[in-house]
Structure 1
Amino acid sequence: MKRPGPLLTLLAGLLLGVFMLSLNATTGTKSASSYRESPGVTAPPSPTPTKTTPSPSPSRSAPPNADYAGRTDDDSSAVAVSLRDGKAIAYFCDGHDKESWLKGDVKDDGTMKLTGKNGAELTGTLEDGKRIRGTVALGGRHYGFTADKAVKPSGLYRATATVRGAKLDGGWIVLPGGKQVGILDRDGKPSAAPRIDPVTGAVTIEGQQLTARPVTP
């Protein structure tokens, strides 16, 4: 009996090689498939930024309609301010020969800048509706002042008339407690004003009775 020849041996080796190659390919495919199907480790999604709605600014109420009266810090003069509908008129006087009428607007935050003749200026701030603190610039000087909320008859008064050919212009500040500070201008010549009746505003000037009335813007 003849032994298998070299050709048969070569063919058997070739078949074995094809079988092993096929087995490796199948195993690799399964491994790759298993790898793809297994869940991978992924980074957590980034949180969606939350939109922040800005808080609305607190609304400011308009300055109240009111009157304020007080004295300068050096106690030399008086200041009165009347506020109506965002407008202001003020009077500064020392009760002798120095006075100024000023007017202007009041902002919603309570600040004001009032102006008068000859460069006079009042800057002030309304504090909680209870008082006005500020400064009056007049004649090259600056007067700090505090004017508290006035309760009638305290406040600002004025009377104008022509008496015996003279033009009269009087201004009065009635302070809390009843004290009065005022100036009467006769044809451009200022002097201390006579007292007025704080209830009626009546005042007698050179024998003629006039009425000083509350001043508003």
Structure 2
Amino acid sequence: MKRPGPLLTLLAGLVLGLFMLTLNATSGTKTASSSYREESPSASPKTPPTSSATPSTSPTPSPSKPSVANANYAGRTNDDAASVAVSVRDGKAVAYFCDGRYKEAWLRGRVNNDGSVKLTAPNGAVLDGKIEQGKKIRGSVKDEGRPYTFTADKAVKPSGLWRATAKVRGAKIDGGWIVLPNGRQTGIVTRDGKTTSAPRIDPETGTVTVDGQQLTAQPVTP
């Protein structure tokens, strides 16, 4: 009865040892796996490249500016029948067509980036032209169905376009003058809708006498 004791004890120890060995192996595997999963994110961080972190952006375009410089132009039609003056400011233009007797038209419109202009007047007159390198403008004015081709050179004050409006002896006065670079003048004064040739203007001061009253004309801009 005493002999089986050591054998059973040995078997029990062997079983216990196998159980503990299996338990350690299983625990070690879990620990290693858990440790790997916890350390893997920090072991190989995914940092995006610097070039992709900052998206490329195009520079914000600045507001477009008119490509045609501000200037005044004055000249004659090719048949020498009338004068034409054009004033350009900030992409806009105003023009005056005048024969110095009874025919006149005030025209307005925009200046395209290529220097071309198409100006219109309340009386139906139309001016089509092209500014050439800021030195002159060539084109035509169509008034009352008749076209007048012209060339107007760049004008520097006192030459250019002038206008005066006032009340003289109860009459509404509206006068327009074109002063050419050579000093030649063309103008018309309208008194309550009736047109006559305008008296000479002093281009240095803008003063002019109409019906005995001195007026001051001003340079015209859009």
| TM-score w.r.t. length of structure 1 | 0.72
Asked if the contact 1:87/1:106 (under 8 Å) is kept, the reply is yes
Q: Cα gap change, 1:85/1:181 in structure 2, threshold over 3 Å: closer, same or farther?
A: same
Which residue of 2 is the match for residue 153 of structure 1?
158
- Name the amino acid aligned to 1:199: E
Asked if the contact 2:82/2:99 (under 8 Å) is kept, the reply is yes
Shift of 1:133: 0.2
For residues 131-158 of structure 1, the C-alpha deviation after alignment (integer angstroms, 9 at most, x for no partner) is: 0000000011000000000011110000
Q: Cα gap change, 1:61/1:119 in structure 2, threshold over 3 Å: closer, same or farther?
A: closer
Pick one of 183, 191, 212 that aligns with 2:188.
Answer: 183
Which residue of 2 is the match for residue 28 of structure 1?
none
For residues 49-100 of structure 1, the C-alpha deviation after alignment (integer angstroms, 9 at most, x for no partner) is: xxxxxxxxxx996111010000001000000000000000000000000000
Cα RMSD after superposing both structures: 1.3
Asked if the contact 1:68/1:150 (under 8 Å) is kept, the reply is yes
Q: Cα gap change, 1:60/1:202 in structure 2, threshold over 3 Å: closer, same or farther?
A: closer
- Match status 1:203 vs 2:208: yes
Which residue of 2 is the match for residue 144 of structure 1?
149
Q: Structure 2 unaligned runs (5+)?
A: 1-63
What secondary structure does 1:117 align onto?
coil
Asked if the contact 2:105/2:123 (under 8 Å) is kept, the reply is no
Asked if the contact 1:60/1:109 (under 8 Å) is kept, the reply is no
Which residue of 2 is the match for residue 67 of structure 1?
72
Pick one of 185, 205, 212 that aligns with 2:217.
Answer: 212
- Name the amino acid aligned to 2:163: R
For residues 177-213 of structure 1, the C-alpha deviation after alignment (integer angstroms, 9 at most, x for no partner) is: 1110000000111110000111000001111110011
For 2:142 and 2:107, the matched residues in 1 are separated by 11
For residues 4-56 of structure 1, the C-alpha deviation after alignment (integer angstroms, 9 at most, x for no partner) is: xxxxxxxxxxxxxxxxxxxxxxxxxxxxxxxxxxxxxxxxxxxxxxxxxxxxx
Pick one of 161, 165, 180 that aligns with 2:170.
Answer: 165
| TM-score w.r.t. length of structure 2 | 0.70
- Name the amino acid aligned to 2:156: V
- Name the amino acid aligned to 2:89: R
Q: Structure 1 unaligned runs (5+)?
A: 1-58
Asked if the contact 2:66/2:90 (under 8 Å) is kept, the reply is no
- Name the amino acid aligned to 1:116: A
Q: Is the deviation greater in 151-160 or in 60-69?
A: 60-69
Aligned residues: 159
Which residue of 1 is the match for residue 125 of structure 2?
120
